[in-house]
């Protein structure tokens, strides 16, 4: 784990804003990007199936391919260290055995639990409809996306979550099977060169009831 | 904002585990719960439409209603301080004017920007299909769910995200219009009485490509 720019939870979480302009000269090393992804993916997922998949668009050529798909968000694409494309893998259960074997091999799960879990989970996931799997992978990948935004700030970076893009073209443009990988979100990441706008929220009383 | 039990980012994020058994005698005050929801909802959302809605199930009667809908997760229901039901509001744009007026009134958005944004966003949201709105609200509500899990730890609580429940019955059981409010996740929250299992993750290199 890298040394953090800050480890102050309040500052990291409540100081986060969407930043759209970054220091164009700053590159993030693959090592640091993978560290941030590792940290982001400590997020939980349904039956630990970890359906999140990432494409880090950082080269000129990659950003050129992305440009026509991101509508009004060209400044982020032009100035960020990277655009992180987050997909959900609708066939994530194909890695179920690998994940549960890893849990067993590292001593974190007894063999019987591994076997019972796999015997229940894999057929269940195979039985779900495309719509049900879409919901699961979008929820789980969003949990990791939120952690990535926070982890990036601990590393001294800012982000901007982008939902407005040509969703039906994103996977194919980057060589992924679009029947299998559904786009969830794009996050720009880099050294912030603006402070970002302050935003407002509805009061919690307005969106909450007690039962 | 309450004083935190800990403000250590690494400890909060990487120490999080799914905890399923809680101190049954511990109640969370409405004030603290609303503070945690306020803190969780500093998460970003698409065009700041904040589609997350919460039902805090804390009474005996409420938990009794929830019990038949949560399958294997009865221990969390029985012992937690509360079960937080997280819904996405498919008609969230009905609060758009209220949100953007609040931004203008608090001096965070010029009048012209408010008017331009509302004139673009409301018709756009009205034009989206149910499937597209479902995706948006599930992604956005999941971002707030992740922040809630972390904020809860800063307050000294543990959580367990629950995806396995009778989704088609949840809204109606708690008096919400099921055509409008789609269930996203249930989070149990309380004082942890077990440490939770350690879990494993796929190495970041296995789930990431660079372009």
Q: Per the CB < 8 Å rule, is A10 touching B7?
A: yes
- CB of A149 within 8 Å of any CB in chain B? yes
CA distance linking residue A129 with residue B129, whole number of Å: 19
Q: Per the CB < 8 Å rule, is A201 touching B42?
A: yes
For residue A201, what pLDDT is reported?
A: 97
Q: What is the pLDDT of residues B97-119, one digit of tens each?
A: 999 999 999 999 999 999 999 99
- CB of B118 within 8 Å of any CB in chain A? no
Q: Per the CB < 8 Å rule, is B211 touching A62?
A: yes
Q: Per the CB < 8 Å rule, is A211 touching B65?
A: yes
Residue B41 · residue B52 · CB < 8 Å: yes
Collect all residues of chain B within an 8 Å Cβ-Cβ radius of residue A93.
Answer: none
Residues 6+ away with beta carbon under 8 Å from B107: none
The total of other beta-carbon atoms located within 10 Å of residue B96's CB is 18
Nearest to B186 by CA among B54, B97, B65: B54
Nearest chain B residue to A18, by CA: B44
Residue B5 · residue B154 · CB < 8 Å: yes
Nearest CB to B59 within list A147, A200, A211:
A211
Q: Per the CB < 8 Å rule, is A149 touching B44?
A: yes
Q: Per the CB < 8 Å rule, is A136 touching B13?
A: no
| β-pair type (B158-162, B181-190) | antiparallel
Give the predicted TM-score (pTM) of the model: 0.97
| β-pair type (A52-57, B208-210) | parallel
- CB of B35 within 8 Å of any CB in chain A? yes
Q: Which residue has the tokens 């391919």?
A: A65
Q: What is the pLDDT of residues B141-169, one digit of tens each?
A: 999 999 999 999 999 999 999 999 999 99
- CB of A28 within 8 Å of any CB in chain B? no
For residue B2, what pLDDT is reported?
A: 60
Q: What is the pLDDT of residues B168-196, one digit of tens each?
A: 999 999 999 999 999 999 999 999 999 88
Dihedral (CA of B116, B117, B120, B122) sign:
negative
CATH topology for the B16-191 domain: NADH Oxidase (3.40.109)
Nearest CB to A161 within list B44, B65, B106:
B44
For residue A72, what pLDDT is reported?
A: 85
- CB of A62 within 8 Å of any CB in chain B? yes
* pLDDT, chain B, mean: 96
Q: Is the ipTM above a cut-off of 0.90? A: yes
- CB of B28 within 8 Å of any CB in chain A? no
Q: Quick check: A99 pLDDT over 60?
A: yes
| β-pair type (B52-57, B208-210) | unpaired
Collect all residues of chain A within an 8 Å Cβ-Cβ radius of residue B142.
Answer: 138-140, 142-143, 146
Q: Quick check: B34 pLDDT over 60?
A: yes
Q: Per the CB < 8 Å rule, is B37 touching A185?
A: no
Residues in A 75-114 with any Cβ partner in B closer than 8 A: 95, 98-99, 102-103, 106, 108-109
For residue A4, what pLDDT is reported?
A: 87
Q: What is the pLDDT of residues A161-198, one digit of tens each?
A: 999 999 999 999 999 999 999 999 999 999 999 988 89
Q: Which residue has the tokens 């639990």?
A: A113
Query: How close A3 comes to chain B (CA, Å)?
Result: 11
Q: What is the pLDDT of residues A12-65, one digit of tens each?
A: 999 999 999 999 999 999 999 999 999 999 999 999 999 999 999 999 999 999
CA distances from B17 to B35, B48, B105, B159 (A): 22, 29, 41, 8
């Amino acid at each position: 784990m890298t040394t953090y720019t800050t480890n102050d939870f309040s500052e990291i979480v409540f100081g986060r804003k969407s930043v759209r302009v970054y220091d164009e000269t700053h590159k993030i090393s693959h090592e640091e990007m993978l560290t941030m992804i590792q940290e982001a993916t400590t997020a939980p997922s349904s039956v630990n199936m970890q359906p999140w998949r990432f494409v880090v668009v950082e080269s000129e050529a990659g950003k050129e391919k992305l440009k026509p798909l991101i509508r009004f968000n060209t400044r982020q694409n032009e100035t960020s260290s990277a655009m992180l494309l987050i997909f959900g893998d609708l066939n994530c259960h194909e890695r179920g055995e690998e994940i549960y074997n890893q849990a067993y091999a590292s001593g974190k799960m007894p063999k019987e639990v591994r076997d019972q879990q796999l015997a229940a989970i894999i057929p269940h996931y195979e039985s779900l409809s495309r719509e049900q799997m879409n919901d699961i992978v979008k929820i789980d990948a969003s949990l990791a996306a939120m952690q990535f935004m926070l982890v990036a700030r601990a590393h001294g970076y800012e982000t901007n979550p982008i939902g407005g893009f040509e969703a039906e073209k994103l996977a194919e443009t980057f060589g992924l099977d679009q029947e299998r990988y559904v786009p969830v979100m794009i996050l720009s990441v880099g050294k912030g060169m603006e402070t970002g706008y302050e935003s407002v929220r509805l009061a919690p009383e307005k969106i909450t009831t007690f039962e």
